[in-house]
Chain A
Amino acid sequence: MNIVIITILTLGILGTLAAVVLYFVAQKFKVIEDPRIDQVEEVLPAANCGGCGFPGCRAFAEAMVKSDDISSLNCPVGGAETMNAAASILGKEVAASDPMIAVVRCYGTCDNRPKTNNYDGAGSCAVSASLYGGDTGCSFGCLGEGDCVDACNFDAMEMDPKTGLPTINDNCVACGACVDACPKNIIELRKKGPKGRRIFVSCINEDKGGAAKKACSAACIGCKKCQKECPFEAITVENNLAYIDYSKCKLCRKCVSVCPTNAIHEINFPPKKVKPVAVKKPVAPVGDAPKTAAPKAEATKKENNPSVESKNKEE
């Protein structure tokens, strides 16, 4: 019996002593930190993706607390909601920012862009890009080794085995990891648009029209038809390549229909007055719509199956 009591007593006293020592040590070495950092960190998404330009959410929270003007700071993952929540903790103003999404500006599918050689090196776009122009006649287009998919931390990307191109779904938070990972600079962050509607040129080929068209049937050939059509001067053509400025684009869709190669893609638009030619439309969309089963955008006038697929691919 004695032993039990002695044991309990000894351990109890030891424990209490240790607790006291710990308390004083903790007091002595206490780091005084702005408690708001913790609060802000709490509302951040905790993805630590680096999309904000800081090495993790805590660093971003610190930056938010420290800087007086936080209009230059933005958490692309949390979006406006998170930023407002964080700003209300700090009592600061948030610059209104549009939600963004990553967009793959290449539509060189296996059908559109015939292979001119077979790549047999390490399975990495970066290696392939540093080696040569790529396995098709287009030296600007997607290499299809999936570096962007590997870089994505949000399950927002996968390679479509049918097209050989990456697809982006609604999980995308516009952190920009894929943009950095792509050695060809194909992926761009663009405004998500109202109801996710957006229009962009799905090509970055700067070759002359003939060469671009020869390499890929969906290439932008720099014909400037869209530029002439655009009522808002949102489209510029430089180096044989059209680019739509998303801050000027009013989503009128006039450019989409004039593009002779269907290089301009529209996403999440309701179908236009259906022309009987486009009967094939349901085939592709239903099958590989990764997310929403909502009515898909209609192809332009021509019965162009690939471009229908693309709408879904970009969801």
Chain B
Amino acid sequence: MNTFTVSPSPHIHSGDSVKKNMYGVIIALLPTLAISIYNFGLGALVVTATAIAACLLFEHLIQKFLLKQETTIWDGSAIITGMLLAFNIPSNLPIWIIVIGALVAIGIGKMSFGGLGNNPFNPALVGRVFLLISFPVQMTSWPTIKNTFLSYTDVQTGATPLSVMKEALANGELPTDVLGQIPSYRDMFLGLQGGSAGEMAGIAILIGLAFMLFRKIITWHIPVAVLGSVFAFAGILHWIDPMMYAPPMFHILSGGLFLGAVFMATDYASSPMSNKGGIIFGIGIGVITVAIRVFGAYPEGISFAILIMNAFVPLIDKYIKPKRFGEVAKKK
């Protein structure tokens, strides 16, 4: 007689897996990596490879020796953390600093909370912000684009459009004048601007977003809410006083907004579960980002904005519930 397998229903599965989702995100990050290499050459490659390798290594070591569990480094999540960390730091950052960043990202940002799926904050951002506070000089001297292709740490550095704007406005210059000193919107969208290794090309990130939406890895809610609220909030400020505040398009296209909205805010574990919650979360990020950029000390605020909103996620999840079936009928 056969011995059958018995399990509760359902007896079929979609075949979706953690790996498929994670590697989907990695594929979506590739166009950004390509532009980064095109802009920064060897530096971008070294930084990305170092960050990924360090993240994998630390996750492996922690799982094997501290937590004594099976290592799951090839599920793709550590690779994503590594890539995102690399994309958030200048491409001329020395290797040892990157390794520290990776240790903080994986060790504190992810594993200390229980590993995959349990991190309340985006691990890459934890690492990035740690580095930004610890090594402010190295973290804010961005190489200019199109240096010699083979250079790494020894490159010419320059300010990003955001820091140019911040400084100029602080000196009393008019936003419209500043716009002349920085790349055009079109160039910014195509990635022809200085900045961290992977944050400058809106177009590449949008391609990644389209891919992730197509594969149903993420939903549109968070990216659209972030971008929309940045545009709206910056637009309101600009409308109130065009002499004081930069136009909304500038905010959308400069800095790490696209990278943050598409890849960092949508991190599964540190974003709200429901779509409604995602929109609230996204709006929060957008408003805080613009607030930091315009009123704060830092020229860029998306990382802090995401981390701050990450802290609100449990609260959002508790009170913002998905629409239940039959609710409409109840209200009638």
A and B touch in the complex (CB under 8 A): yes
* Contacts from A to B (Cβ < 8 Å): 115-122, 127, 131-132, 135
State in angstroms the CA–CA spacing of A117 and B7 once bound together.
10
- How far in angstroms is the closest Cβ of chain B from A264? 30
B5 / chain A contacts, CB cutoff of 8 Å: 117-120
State which residues 165-222 of B face A: CB under 8 Å: none
Which of A117, A122, A135 touches B8 (beta carbons < 8 Å)?
A: A122
Which of A117, A121, A131 touches B4 (beta carbons < 8 Å)?
A: A117
Closest A residue, CB atoms, query B6: A117
B4 / chain A contacts, CB cutoff of 8 Å: 117-118
State in angstroms the CA–CA spacing of A135 and B8 once bound together.
13
B14 within 8 A of A: no
State in angstroms the CA–CA spacing of A102 and B5 once bound together.
32
- How far in angstroms is the closest Cβ of chain A from B312? 32
Cβ contacts B1-35/A at 8 Å (1 or 0 each): 10111111000000000000000000000000000
Which of A118, A122, A127, A131 touches B3 (beta carbons < 8 Å)?
A: A118
- How far in angstroms is the closest Cβ of chain B from A256? 34
Let me know if A127 and B8 touch, CB within 8 A: yes
With A118-B4, A119-B6, A120-B7 already in contact, 12 other A-B pairs whose C-beta atoms are closer than 8 Å: A115-B3, A116-B1, A117-B4, A117-B5, A117-B6, A120-B5, A127-B8, A131-B6, A131-B7, A131-B8, A132-B6, A135-B6
State in angstroms the CA–CA spacing of A115 and B1 once bound together.
11
Let me know if A120 and B3 touch, CB within 8 A: no
State in angstroms the CA–CA spacing of A118 and B2 once bound together.
11
Closest A residue, CB atoms, query B3: A117
Instruction: Please report the number of residue pairs spanning A and B whose Cβ atoms sit closer than 8 angstroms.
Output: 27
* Contacts from B to A (Cβ < 8 Å): 1, 3-8
Let me know if B7 and A116 touch, CB within 8 A: no
A131 / chain B contacts, CB cutoff of 8 Å: 6-8
State in angstroms the CA–CA spacing of A121 and B1 once bound together.
22
- How far in angstroms is the closest Cβ of chain A from B212? 30
Closest B residue, CB atoms, query A127: B8
Let me know if A121 and B3 touch, CB within 8 A: no
State in angstroms the CA–CA spacing of A49 and B1 once bound together.
46
A116 / chain B contacts, CB cutoff of 8 Å: 1, 3
Closest B residue, CB atoms, query A131: B8
State in angstroms the CA–CA spacing of A171 and B307 once bound together.
46
Let me know if B6 and A118 touch, CB within 8 A: yes
State in angstroms the CA–CA spacing of A121 and B4 once bound together.
13
- How far in angstroms is the closest Cβ of chain B from A78? 34
State in angstroms the CA–CA spacing of A117 and B4 once bound together.
5
Can you list 14 residue pairs at the A/B interface with Cβ under 8 Å?
A116-B1, A117-B4, A117-B5, A118-B3, A118-B4, A118-B6, A119-B5, A119-B7, A120-B7, A121-B7, A121-B8, A127-B8, A132-B6, A135-B6
Closest A residue, CB atoms, query B2: A117
State in angstroms the CA–CA spacing of A122 and B8 once bound together.
8
- How far in angstroms is the closest Cβ of chain B from A241? 26
State in angstroms the CA–CA spacing of A290 and B145 once bound together.
68
- How far in angstroms is the closest Cβ of chain B from A181? 19
- How far in angstroms is the closest Cβ of chain A from B10? 11
State in angstroms the CA–CA spacing of A135 and B5 once bound together.
9
State in angstroms the CA–CA spacing of A173 and B187 once bound together.
74
